[in-house]
Amino acid sequence: MISGAPALVTTPHQRRPQSAAAPAALTTAPDGLALSGHWTAFGASPLDRQLDAWPLPVQKDAVIDGAHVEALDTVGVWMLQQLLARLNAAGSSPVLRGWRPDFTKLIELLERTPPAQAAPQPPSPLLDRIGTATGAAIEQLYALLSFVGDTALALAAGIARPQRIRWRPILHNIQTAGVNALPIVGLLSFLLGIVVAYQGADQLRQYGANIYVADLIGLSMLREFAPLITAIIAAGRSGSAYAAQIGTMSVTEEIDAMRTLGIAPLDVLVLPKVIALMIAMPLLTVYADVCGVIGGMLMAQTKLGVGYFEFVARFVNAVSPSTYLIGVGKAPVFAAIIAIVGCFQGFRTHGGADSVGRQTTRSVVHATFLVIVADAMFSIVFSILDL
């Protein structure tokens, strides 16, 4: 029952010579509103789009005159209920007048009928959910491998024909992914070096091995922490930016327009980003190495009393060129993973802005996960090779 249900005033129905297919109409009367025509699923559809914006009468007891309503079904009653609800919310007490008795009975019947409740869906079985999730993961992995193959073919075609490579977008991406990332990479690497030296200081002091803080900083930063922290920052900055850019272009159908013009999206949108990040990441890793070692050197001087010259002398003897090259060598692999995953998730964007945000989040999560997996695989391989 609608709150503040209107009073029903019925009068004998008088037939009027109107068109058999007159659409639903709503007009403003001096004492309220006058309804006419066929208030049915077919006759009321043009009025449905205008009903919410229709000006309401200002009377306290507005009259809803239905004397000229020729046909009424449940759709028309629903529209009438929406109109009455707006009047009740505005502080009016509407009165229905002039309605045919059969229309009045239909209105009263639908007011007494509670709204239908959707039957609750039973939860899917556990095996069903596991199977669905596994199938989606396999499908996405297959699509990712296909995208990697397409990118590799496009890169091979670019190497065979260098004039196809777009160098200006590459330089632009080197600036955005490399130069603009220097402050955050340097700051986090510097702080990470401080943290590593601080955590190892107490343990080294107990054994009188203060000088070995140089070994700790050098091996941990150059071999593991610097390339990993740089990759994670790149995944958050560059990978998400790639996914958002390509995803927005996919939603606005710019990628379809490029294909229509005969422009390969991989050549324009993917290859410049992959090449630029593979160039910028090793340089960022070297920069992170320097900042991390400086941070560890400052903490070694403050906490352990190891002088700068002593630290550098021990550092040169402790860290071999292979350790440095292993850390720098990981960077291009991490860069390729981040760029390809970010672009892949961007191309999988469909729908609206919510899909752009969802795929951007997935690009960061998946890229970070794959980078850590790749780093673990590197550790296993280097352990087998005794590097």
What are the pLDDT digits (tens) for 55-67? Answer: 776 667 778 888 8
What is residue 264's predicted lDDT score, i.e. its pLDDT? 87
Label each residue of the chain as H, E or C: CCCCCCEEEECCCCCCCCCCCCECEEEEECCEEEEEEEECCCCCHHHHHHHCCCCCCCCCCCEEEEEEEEEECHHHHHHHHHHHHHHHHCCCCCEEEEECHHHHHHHHHHHHCCCCCCCCCCCCCHHHHHHHHHHHHHHHHHHHHHHHHHHHHHHHHHHHCHHHCCHHHHHHHHHHHCHHHHHHHHHHHHHHHHHHHHHHHHHHHHCCCHHHHHHHHHHHHHHHHHHHHHHHHHHHHHHHHHHHHHHHHHHCCHHHHHHHCCCCHHHHHHHHHHHHHHHHHHHHHHHHHHHHHHHHHHHHHHHHCCCHHHHHHHHHHHCCHHHHHHHHHHHHHHHHHHHHHHHHHHHCCCCCHHHHHHHHHHHHHHHHHHHHHHHHHHHHHHHHCCC
What is residue 115's predicted lDDT score, i.e. its pLDDT? 58
User: Mean pLDDT, to the nearest integer, of 355-378?
Assistant: 92
Q: What are φ and ψ of residue 7, in 5° steps?
A: -75, 140
What is residue 113's predicted lDDT score, i.e. its pLDDT? 65
pLDDT at residue 77 tops 50 = yes
Where residue 1 falls among pLDDT bands split at 50, 70, 90? Answer: very low
Q: What pLDDT, in 10s, does the model give residues 254-270?
A: 998 988 888 888 988 99
Where residue 16 falls among pLDDT bands split at 50, 70, 90? Answer: very low
User: Mean pLDDT, to the nearest integer, of 71-92?
Assistant: 79
Domains (range + CATH), the chain? 7-112 (3.30.750.24), 151-384 (no CATH)
pLDDT at residue 184 tops 70 = yes
Q: What is the mean pLDDT of the chain?
A: 84
Where residue 127 falls among pLDDT bands split at 50, 70, 90? Answer: confident
What is residue 160's predicted lDDT score, i.e. its pLDDT? 87
Higher-confidence residue of 264 and 86: namely 264
Where residue 40 falls among pLDDT bands split at 50, 70, 90? Answer: confident
